[in-house]
Structure 1
């Protein structure tokens, strides 16, 4: 592989720089380098995810990408996310190559994650070469690179439910404060809600706190009324 370059679109327009000059670029604020087409008969599903992290819409091109975007939105360490964030250009044996990763995520400590989403059964040799090149380029910049094959079904199902309550409007301050106070020790989910008030009014706030991981549950098993809720002590997945 020969000399990496990075292409991106910022508020000024299209840019193309040597790889080492890309480290300070705020890709989480850049525009996608290509669009998200939708047409009759297409075999994948494009759409937009409203991100509670960036308070904006972020595009995806498959259900796997949507779930990955949702999990990035759920991760409290992620402070910014962008889809189709940049072109990576390089050459192999004199032949030009390029690749657009699916997502860029900025972490709270300033580091970054770059992700591609592809089921293992659909990864071809050309894909492997592109993923390997992207991994090498990210290593130069000190970024973490990963290829997402799938998410555990129960985990992603639970997070998808909680995502329905991700909007800040569900974080009613007085109710949230009372829930945190009551949940100073592990307690059943429905018992916790009923101890604060009418579950119909309280549960959306409780689910919002679980989405924000200010309160925690075991997300590896299905959520139930008796699911144990605990005070936050770190990331739950």
Structure 2
């Protein structure tokens, strides 16, 4: 039985950077920002608490009680609007989160998959200085992740204008000063959005009344199996499909997020170093 090398994007071990395409063209715009010695004192962030605005200079961002804040700008729904707002449920936070576009919805779904502890939409308004005057920007999300705080903007690459790039450059400086990560999400690796969408259908908590979770995990304990072979190895193949997807979402099983999910998709036990079978399990 022939084997090939491992997956491009391991669902059980990947981080967000493996899933997305990012904007990196704001470096030239950094030179147009006013970043003298006192900029962290002059640049400010405005947050909303209990309906009232509170201003923090950038130098004091570490003291902001972010979990108590509210969005500084509310979502709007109206007829004939170009974007697609809505609410995305997240298992990792236990509540729904607003989004203003399908691209933002995709990011929320990925953050749920990666176990975000909290996600705050439109967390603050940044007021900053550049060589042409002053400007303001509201980032899309602030996410509290297992590896630290991540500040996000979401914008398809084709829609990024010079004005946007300047705002992104300013936001990157603020995130760095606060000790946060900052990313402008412009797109996704091939197939990632579709596979995460399929896995998310079975992300809610489930009672394993038939013991299928144990059967599925035991079946790949010695090495990977294709998805169809894996579910057929159980006592209840028809029901095992949903349970296998549930285990994939919760990262107890692994699959390649860079390939379409189907019966021929190799599946392995989380944490293993998989060698992917070309035709099935090695004999």
Greater helix proportion: 1
Q: Identify unmatched segments of 5+ residues in structure 1.
A: none
- What is the rounded CA distance, in whole Å, between the counterparts of 1:183 and 1:63 in structure 2? 35
* 1:106 and 2:124 are equivalent in the alignment: no
Deviations 1:136-187 (A, max 9, x none): 0101112111111111241111111101111113x63733233222221211
Assess, with a 3 A threshold, how the Cα gap between structure 1 residues 12 and 33 changes in structure 2: closer, same or farther: closer
For each residue in 1:9-32, what CA deviation from the matched residue of structure 2 results, as whole angstroms up to 9, or x when unmatched?
A: 345843221223222435355322
Q: Given that residues 190 and 259 in structure 2 are in contact (C-alpha distance below 8 angstroms), is that contact kept between their aligned partners in structure 1?
A: no
**Structure 2 residues not aligned, in runs of 5+:** 1-33, 275-283
Q: Which aligned runs of 4 or more in structure 1 are off by greater than 6 angstroms? A: none
Matched, 1:53 2:89: no
**Matching residue of 2:46:** 7
Structure 2 CA distance, aligned partners of 1:193 and 1:8?
49
State the Cα distance separating 1:92 from its structure 2 match: 2.8
Aligned residue number for residue 35 of structure 1: 74
Larger gyration radius, structure 1 or structure 2: 2
Q: What's the secondary structure of 1:150's corresponding residue?
A: strand
Matched, 1:135 2:179: no
> SS in structure 2 opposite 1:54?
coil
Q: With structure 2 as the length reference, what TM-score do the two structures score?
A: 0.75
Question: How far, CA to CA, are the matches of 2:243 and 2:63 in structure 1?
Answer: 38
Q: Which has the higher contact order (CA 8 A, sep 6+)?
A: 2
Computed over aligned residues only, the root mean square deviation of the Cα atoms, in angstroms, reads 2.2
Q: Spell out, residue by residue over 1:175-202, the C-alpha distance to the aligned partner (whole angstroms, 9 max, x if none).
A: 3233222221211212222222323322
Relative distance call for 1:120 and 1:94 in structure 2 (3 A) is closer
**Match status 1:219 vs 2:257:** yes
